[in-house]
Amino acid sequence: MNAAPTASAPPPVLRRLGPPLAALAAVAAPTAYIARVDPNSPGHYPDCPFLVATGWWCPGCGGLRCVHALARGDLTTALHDNAAAVLLFAVLAVLWLRWAWAALTGGAPPRAAVGARRWVLIGLLLLVFTAVRNLPVGAGLAPALL
C-alpha cells in the first residue's frame, strides 16, 4: 500500500535568504565603489554618450552622482542629481524588502508584474523628465556640469 506523499518541510531560513542576500551583495559592492570614488571628480567614469552627442541630459545622467550622494546620506543632492533614479531606487528597495520578508517568513516571493500600459507610462514619464530637466525651468533636476 502506497502512502500519500507528505509535504516537504520548507528549506532552512538561511537557505531561503540566500538569493535576496546575494542580490543585496551584488548591489552593495558597486555602490561601495561609487561611494568611495567620487563621480563629481572628472576622469574616474566615462562621459554619457548621449550628453556628449546632444548636449542634453538623458534620464540616466547624474545617476552615479545620485548613488554617491545617497551612499553618503545626502538625499537633497541625490534628488538634484537624478530624481528619477532616487524614485527607482526607492521602488527597488521596497521590492527587495518584500522579497527578503517573504524569504524570512517562508512565504511566496512577491511578483512585480509590469504590463505594456505601465511600460508605456514609464517611458512617457522618463521622456517628460528628460525634456523638463533640459529646460531652464527644470534646471534643478539636472546635475551640475563638471
What's the Rg (C-alpha) of the chain?
Answer: 20
| pLDDT of 109 above 90 | no
Work out the pLDDT band at 60, boundaries 50, 70, 90: very high
Q: 36 CB contacts (<8 Å, ≥6 apart)? A: none
Average model confidence (pLDDT) across the chain: 91
Angle at 129 between CA 128 and CA 133, to 5 degrees: 115
- Give the pLDDT of residue 1: 53
Q: Do 20 and 99 contact (CB within 8 A), yes or no?
A: yes
Share of the chain above pLDDT 70, in %: 92
User: Quick check: 5 pLDDT over 70?
Assistant: no
Decide: 132 and 124 in contact? Cβ < 8 Å.
no
- Judge whether residue 9 has pLDDT over 80: no
Helix axes 13-36 and 63-71, enclosed angle (nearest 10): 110
- Looking at the chain, the number of H-run helices and the number of E-run strands are 5, 0
The pTM is what?
0.84
Q: How far apart are CA 61 and CA 2, in angstroms?
A: 64
pLDDT surpassing 90 at residue 28: yes
Residue 8 pLDDT: 67
